[in-house]
Amino acid sequence: MSAALSLLQQRHSVPSRQLGEPAPDEATLHELLEAAIRVPDHGKLVPFRLIRLQGEAKLAFGERLAAIATRNHPEMSEAKLEKERTRYTFAPLVIAVVARLQLDSKVPQIEQKLCAGNVAYNILLGAYALGYGAQWLTGWAAYDREVAGALGLAENEHVVAFVHLGTPRIEVPDRERPALDELVSTWTP
């Protein structure tokens, strides 16, 4: 079996709470992201961009999320607010993958979003290949326009993933996978 197929068969997510230092250094991160953006891109639109959340910025982002959550749900418990404050603090690095939709393009918006999703998945694969752990998360913040504003997103931009990156602090067992025979069929006219 090729190394590439072996990588695909072994890749798994590491929960963000189980990701610690170190994150990829600058040179490794640059190499990882350069590889991650090599995705199918109908029309060569480059319908994505990346936003790094690191260090104090993750804390400030968490505070903004807690403020937005409080406005949207004033009855929210202090425990849930604390979860919003700390959601992005566990992994040393979080990459927000943003779909940057060109609304006037002949390329359907779903294809543009899938392109951005492929970038997120390539980050997961690349991180695993380099010995790091990663988890793709979304949650309400990925779909909230006020959060989009806090990230500086334009009206045509949407978060498709918050990819949490770091070094796994535990050995994560693989989950049960579906049987391929139950998923594949052959179409006949």
48-61: average pLDDT: 96
Q: Taking all residues of the chain, what is their mean pLDDT, rounded to a whole number?
A: 96
pLDDT tens per residue across span 7-47: 899 899 999 999 999 999 999 999 999 999 999 999 999 99
39: domain range? 12-54+90-168
Q: Is residue 2 part of a domain?
A: no
Query: Does pLDDT of 87 surpass 90?
Result: yes
DSSP H helices, the chain, are 3-10, 26-36, 56-72, 78-86, 109-129, 145-150
| Cis peptide upstream of residue 24 (ω within 30 degrees of 0) | no
CATH of the domain at 17: 3.40.109.10
Q: Is residue 47 part of a domain?
A: yes
Q: Is residue 22 part of a domain?
A: yes
Dihedral sign computed on CA atoms, order 150, 155, 157, 162: positive
Q: How many domains does the chain have?
A: 1
Q: Is residue 147 part of a domain?
A: yes
Q: Is residue 75 part of a domain?
A: no
Q: Is residue 74 part of a domain?
A: no
- The model carries a pTM of 0.95
Query: Does pLDDT of 181 surpass 90?
Result: yes
